[in-house]
Amino acid sequence: MLQKGRTRYNPKEAFILKKTMAIETFDLFLLIVLSYYLFSTWYIGLIAALLILLGIYAFRAYDLNNLVSYIEQLIRVAAGSVLGWVLFQILLLFPGRIIQIASLKMILISIITLPIINWAITLIILKFAKRRKYVVLGSKAEHQSLINEISQKTLGLIQAHTYLNPDISKLGQLLPQCDGVIIGQTFLNDKICEEINKLEPSGEVHYLPELAERALKRIPLKSIGKHNKDYHIEANNETYSPAMRILDILVSLIVLVITSPLSLITTIAIYIKDGKPVIFKQTRVGKDGKHFAIYKFRSMQNTQLQEPKFADQEEERITKVGKVIRKYRIDELPQFINVLKGDMSVVGPRPEQVEFTEEYLKTIPFYEYRLTVNPGITGWAQIMYKYSSNEEETIRKLKYDLWYIKNQGLLLDLKIMLQTLEKILFTHFGKAQCEYKDVRYKDLNLGKTNTIITNLKERFER
């Protein structure tokens, strides 16, 4: 029951987002059936099916915004299938097996069938999905932007029917016309609580910061700043389990071994072109504010920095070799040594320079939470947003870092590792693709997504 002066979140799911699990399950079923008919050895076929599905998942083919576009499906399923096939062939090398024609047939069938099937299923689900309308308790001027972003992210399945603030005497009359309530204001009197409690058995009650967190996969700092008595950011204890440390060590060792030829070539290229030192060291801030030396392949001219700068402010210092290794993140390979030393994890918020950290702790609310976990080579903010080049963009990335800190765990780390491959490859797949991904996670004033939503609505109304 809601109590006076407090808001409570009712965890009823209102999203179509979980419907995508049905599509993933269907794809897995189809791939397993294909493996049964294409492979003579059942467990080899099953491994191929799982790796191809893993590759497709890594390229975000099951994100809702990608499911509504056939072209996006085709590109991502094709890229993911090829990635899965490459991983499958690498596994076959160890027992000395040769490339199997069956695996080539499987990825070809996957690329032809899965995009059109996934796209069609998504359109059917959206056609019959109910558009839910909510009464928003709070100021329209204060909450409309966030509500609109949630609506766009869910393709219009969550909408604001009306905003009530400060006079909400009409709440009892409006509730029967809506599917639930979104609580945006921080204080509720007894009368309001009674009306909302009447709704709970059949309707939905959502706490705006939690709703935004689940829909947008980031922490809405502006909202939680006003709900600080009811909202807490806490690190998931799973991160500190031995399993997480073992994963870091295993991944680091595997990456260092596999990329050792590439690291050797990079070392030689830097030494010949730019001389010593090959490895660049810089002091960064880690967990609990501890300072440590981060390792990178040197990508800039060997000059002493006068003051800390963002990466994009140092273009004139980047060497020819540096341009190549920075483009494909090769310069960050030595950081896996930092992981083995325990200074970093594979996944986590990126470690900042000391001067920037000291400044942000004073000027950016909640920034101190970034120091409650180990920094990482890659992270949720890195795959969801671009490089930050100013304080405003740093705040934007902080929202994703805080979401990771609150939801971190073994499965999420594995997901981020997989999608880091997609980020590296698709960032350079084409300029349009890169710009689309960056804009999609900004303020969502989207031409492309708005067009998709409009077209879908027109189709469904016919």
Residue 441: predicted pLDDT: 33
Residue 444 covered by a domain:
no
Can you tell me the distance from the alpha carbon of 320 to that of 243, in angstroms, rounded to the nearest whole number? 40
Angle at 254 between CA 248 and CA 259, to 5 degrees: 125
Closest residue by Cα to residue 7 from 233, 181, 221: 181
Does 264 share its domain with 315?
A: yes
Q: Residue 431's pLDDT is what?
A: 34
Same-domain pairing of 295 and 411: yes
259 and 293 part of one domain:
yes
Residue 8 lies in a domain: no
More confident residue, 111 or 128: 111
**Which residue type is seen at 200?**
E
118: containing domain: 17-127
Q: Is residue 1 part of a domain?
A: no
- At 404-450, the pLDDT tens digits run 998 888 889 999 999 998 888 776 544 333 333 333 333 333 344 44
- With bands split at pLDDT 50, 70 and 90, how would you rate the model's confidence at 94? low
Domain endpoint, select from 184, 200, 232:
232
CATH code, domain with 160: 3.40.50
Residue-averaged pLDDT of the chain: 81
Question: Does a structural domain hold residue 85?
Answer: yes
**Residue 21 carries which side chain, given as an amino acid letter?**
M
Phi/psi at 387 (5° precision): -60, 140
Q: pLDDT band for position 183 (50/70/90)?
A: confident
- pLDDT tier for residue 79 given thresholds of 50, 70 and 90: very high
The length of the chain in residues reads 462
137 with 122, same domain?
no
Query: What is the predicted pLDDT for the residue at 386?
Result: 79
pLDDT at residue 286 greater than cutoff 50:
yes
User: Do 271 and 437 contact (CB within 8 A), yes or no?
Assistant: no
Residue 454 lies in a domain: no
The type of residue at 286 is: G
Distance, in Å, from the CA atom of 8 to the CA atom of 302, rounded to the nearest integer, reads 55
**410: three-class secondary structure by DSSP:** helix
> Is residue 460 a part of any domain in this protein?
no
Supply the pTM of this predicted model. Answer: 0.81
Same domain, 305 and 327: yes
Taking each helix axis as running N to C, give the angle between helix 101-128 and helix 70-93, from 0 to 180 degrees, rounded to the nearest 10.
150
Residues 228 and 244 both lie in one domain: no
pLDDT of residue 452: 46
- The packing angle between helices 410-427 and 391-407, to 10°, is 140
Is residue 442 in some structural domain? no
Whether pLDDT at 187 is above 70: no
Long-range contacts from 77-80, C-beta under 8 angstroms, 24+ separation:
77/110, 77/111, 77/114, 77/115, 77/118, 78/111, 78/115, 79/55, 79/422, 79/425, 79/426, 80/52, 80/54, 80/55, 80/56
Is 457 a member of any domain? Answer: no
Same domain, 198 and 67: no
Phi/psi at 349 (nearest 5 deg)?
A: -60, 145
Amino acid in position 395: I
Residues 191, 281: one domain?
A: no
For residues 72-78, average pLDDT: 94
Q: How many domains does the chain have?
A: 3
Lowest mean pLDDT among 13-27, 130-144, 227-241, 255-269: 227-241
Of residues 260 and 65, the one with the higher pLDDT is 260
Do 267 and 406 share a structural domain? yes
The residues facing 204 across adjacent strands are 180
Residue ending a domain, choose from 215, 232, 249 = 232
Q: Find the helix or strand (DSSP H, E) in which 269 lies.
A: helix 260-274
Same domain, 270 and 199: no
Tell whether 61 and 93 lie within a shared domain: yes
